[in-house]
Structure 1
Amino acid sequence: MFRFACLIITLLLATAPVVNAQPADLTAEQDAFLDELSRRSFDFFWREANTHNGLIPDRAMADGSQGMDVSSIASVGYGLTAYVIGMERGWISRDQAYDRSLATLKFFRDEMEHVNGFYYHFVDMDTGERVWQCELSSIDTALLINGVLTVKAAFPGTELETVAQQLYDRVDWVWMMNGGETLTMGWKPETGFLKARWHDYNELMMLYLLGMGSQTHTLPPEAWHAWKRNRLVTYGGRTFLECPPLFTHQFSHAWFDFRDQRDDYADYWSNSVLATLAQQQFVADLASRFPRYGPDMWGLTAADGPDGYRVIGAPPAQGEIDGAVVPCAPAGSIPMAPDATIPALMKMKADYPRSFTTYGFVDAFNPHTDWYNQQVIGIDVGITLLMAENHRSGLVWKVFGKNPEVQRAMKLAGFRPLTDAEREHTSTVSIFTDQPLPPDQRNPKESRR
């Protein structure tokens, strides 16, 4: 009888949610909000996926009424990671997460068209065939592989781990360099390699780290040093590597844990913190033009607008800023600046209830014109879910970081802990340089050194 009771307890513990404690820095109301937002975001990946091949649509109607017939491989990378979150939260069982993930990985290994391990950006939801004559995408393959490595670490010693390793090992990162010092953005069978390269600070860090961590087609450490870190901006007393759309400061951080570390050049975590706070201030400073903007109503990044997909951001200003807000901009920075992001998201839901629906927030809305996008985009839902979970439990960082390839890459890139003096420095300046810093765009008469 005692042994039977112990068995029951063991089974209950094995199936119970693992991450259900309220973080100390969140109020009960905030944690409940993030839980609801996360569950709705998770539902997009779980409900909209093709259950036979694991493909996940690039976008869907926000109310869940209609899926789309085109998948984004980046959505799949976020979706695989979402399954681990859902499993740990108790929204799906471990068997469900395993079975869906394994089916997805086998389809990519055995049936999806690839060239040297890289996949086409957009594919047909049913067949996996290339659509729109799109490119073989290096960054979207990286987002996919991030998800592959997440489920690999979540299910050690299984067939899934073996298939995941096979997918990672066949990505030929060196081929994507095309003989240059930096990675190209992609390749097309009709025209060959794209001219554009990953050579300036943006969401590129995951690409180089995945390539350096590979044991089959390994990028040399010199590749990490080849991309430029010279586009600086100062706004409101904060100096950082600029890239106006906020997603560029978030995507690599969703999996790689850069907290309290630096390489030879910068503290990239602090860089994203400063970029987030600077954008919040920038948008608040536009309140004379757009009175509903403020420190609790902001968010600029790549997203849908009234006339289609567009790229907006700040600082410096990029694209047409027209009073709209993009919820995934603050959501993707939840762990970087919770006091700036969570109140804004809660206000969006409370004051503009039409912005919050079946799959969480619509992709964008304009509180000044009463325009609401009717769709959600997979990568925007994904960054919302992953960063909310990272703030609440650090789960994605912990699981993904178990991969020895990830640990190897961070070491080869030269990451090391911050000293107390460096930590104080990066509270306002994210880079380590003796060069004069750019003048403050918010206060042009001030110069910084």
Structure 2
Amino acid sequence: MRKTSLSLEVLAHRAFDFFWHETHPSTGLTKDRAKNIGAADRYTVASVAATGYALAALPIGVGRGWVSAASAEQRALLTLRFLSQELPHHHGFFYHFIDWRDGKRVWSCELSSIDSTLLFLGALAAGRFFGGECAERADALVARTDWPWMQNNGAAPSMGWKPESGFIPARWSGYTEASYLYLLALGVPTHPLPQSSWDALTFTETPAVPAFWAQMTPGYVNLKGLKDRQGRDWWGIFQRSHEANAAFCAKNAERFVTYRDGVWGITACDQPPPVGYGAQSPRDGDHDGTVAPTAAMAGALFVPELTKKALASLQRRFGEKITGRYGLSNALNADKNWFDTDVIGIDLGMALLAWENSKTGLLWKLVGEHPYLKQGLSTAGFTKAGTTRDPA
């Protein structure tokens, strides 16, 4: 087996390539996943979340010289026009999974509050970067969302809605990846979430959770050195989550082959058959040796040396088994001799944004400083540690 060693920049470039090449040329919708190793796939399912990350990837591609500004702006316009004019929505929210050729709902999936928000954040990133019609369409797309409707008479928003059965009973009521949802929804100009919804959001100091919980929000918003009205340090829990993930894998390296030589990254990702996609956590009884290379890569903001060590180890140990056209495959489990051949859009997106922010802070400048996010941060009472802010 030939050994490979791709730098973080090359891995980021290949992640960008996924978003550039796996986006439909007529709709601008981006596949949920694609084949990374072997023959090209025939997948036709897009996700609105992956489409959001594709929009956010465009400014990175331009800045890095991976695509021309004119081509990237044309792609952004194509996507934003389809989203605003053609893609079915309800109260401003979109279905989670859609056919990339025409935007039709697939798999009887839910109208997703969390995945729609990932789309919105990517749209705002592209809008701020390109300006003009892109900015107008992105801002209008986000402004039309009706967040009190998604609350469905509760303090926390529902996870989604289906036309056949109504609202999903589960809500975004505690510490998960959903802090970015609140920070945007609190700041939209027309139908925002009320301040009380943020104040009711529960918080945990326990970092033994899937890595992606600590990776989606900092892709767009820099909360370092800030605390909210309740004095909660969100950046701190993100930091500790990464440290705990790596430490847990190191502690269990004798029992699990996968975790040896500095490999870590327990998160939501593809799992060995027959499970399929699922989430694991760095705690006893909730893991089986499966890791996602993108989870380690997205740790570049918090544990850069542990990120470099994990990615170098993965490539040295497994080489072509996990390396393909879009970088490292979504997941692997050496204990079960299982190596994924796909990549997943949202995971590549988290990794790409984290890497770029660790270098330039680009997405923080584009999205974190957007008026909607600035209002959301104000409503949640975020201030520098040691200062106070009156309730918004």
Tell me how far apart the structure 2 counterparts of residues 201 and 350 of structure 1 sit (CA, whole Å).
Answer: 36
Supply the AA of the counterpart residue of 1:141. Answer: S
* Cα pair 1:48 1:67 within 8 Å, conserved: no
Structure 1 counterpart of 2:379, from 382, 394, 412: 412
Tell me how far apart the structure 2 counterparts of residues 241 and 138 of structure 1 sit (CA, whole Å).
Answer: 25
Supply the AA of the counterpart residue of 1:254. Answer: G
Tell me how far apart the structure 2 counterparts of residues 292 and 75 of structure 1 sit (CA, whole Å).
Answer: 28
Structure 2 equivalent of residue 74 of structure 1? 49
Supply the AA of the counterpart residue of 1:42. Answer: F
Structure 1 counterpart of 2:254, from 288, 293, 309: 288
* Cα pair 1:201 1:241 within 8 Å, conserved: no
Describe the shift of the 1:96–1:195 C-alpha distance in structure 2 as closer, same or farther (beyond 3 A): same
Q: How many residues align?
A: 378
TM-score (norm 1): 0.81
Larger Rg, first or second structure (1 or 2)? 1
Q: Which has the higher helix share?
A: 2
Tell me how far apart the structure 2 counterparts of residues 323 and 207 of structure 1 sit (CA, whole Å).
Answer: 30
Structure 1 equivalent of residue 390 of structure 2? none
* Cα pair 2:208 2:244 within 8 Å, conserved: no
Say yes or no: does 1:246 pair with 2:211. yes
| 1:242 Cα offset (Å) | 3.8
Structure 2 counterpart of 1:342, from 308, 329, 332: 308
Structure 2 equivalent of residue 164 of structure 1? 138
Deviations 1:413-441 (A, max 9, x none): 11111249xxxxxxxxxxxxxxxxxxxxx
Structure 2 equivalent of residue 268 of structure 1? 234
Tell me how far apart the structure 1 counterparts of residues 161 and 124 of structure 2 sit (CA, whole Å).
Answer: 24
Describe the shift of the 1:318–1:266 C-alpha distance in structure 2 as closer, same or farther (beyond 3 A): farther
Structure 1 equivalent of residue 278 of structure 2? 310
Query: Which secondary structure does the structure 1 equivalent of 2:299 belong to?
Result: coil
* Cα pair 2:329 2:343 within 8 Å, conserved: yes
Describe the shift of the 1:414–1:351 C-alpha distance in structure 2 as closer, same or farther (beyond 3 A): same
**Higher relative contact order (CA closer than 8 Å, sequence separation 6+):** 2
Query: Which secondary structure does the structure 2 equivalent of 1:309 belong to?
Result: strand
Say yes or no: does 1:43 pair with 2:17. yes
* Cα pair 1:209 1:406 within 8 Å, conserved: yes
Tell me how far apart the structure 2 counterparts of residues 39 and 61 of structure 1 sit (CA, whole Å).
Answer: 17
| 1:266 Cα offset (Å) | 1.7
Supply the AA of the counterpart residue of 2:328. Answer: F
| 1:224 Cα offset (Å) | 0.8
| 1:214 Cα offset (Å) | 0.4
* Cα pair 2:257 2:334 within 8 Å, conserved: no
Supply the AA of the counterpart residue of 1:35. Answer: E
Supply the AA of the counterpart residue of 2:299. Answer: S
* Cα pair 2:292 2:332 within 8 Å, conserved: yes
Structure 1 counterpart of 2:36, from 56, 62, 69: 62
Structure 1 equivalent of residue 162 of structure 2? 188
| 1:366 Cα offset (Å) | 1.9
Structure 2 equivalent of residue 352 of structure 1? 318
Say yes or no: does 1:213 pair with 2:187. yes
Residue range with higher mean Cα deviation, 304-313 or 179-188: 304-313
CA RMSD of aligned residues (A): 1.7
Tell me how far apart the structure 1 counterparts of residues 135 and 256 of structure 2 sit (CA, whole Å).
Answer: 51
Tell me how far apart the structure 2 counterparts of residues 215 and 317 of structure 1 sit (CA, whole Å).
Answer: 44
Unmatched segments (≥5 aa) in structure 1:
1-29, 232-239, 421-449
TM-score (norm 2): 0.93
| 1:292 Cα offset (Å) | 4.6
Residue range with higher mean Cα deviation, 352-361 or 193-202: 352-361
* Cα pair 2:258 2:333 within 8 Å, conserved: no
Supply the AA of the counterpart residue of 2:247. Answer: Q
| 1:288 Cα offset (Å) | 2.6
Say yes or no: does 1:330 pair with 2:305. no
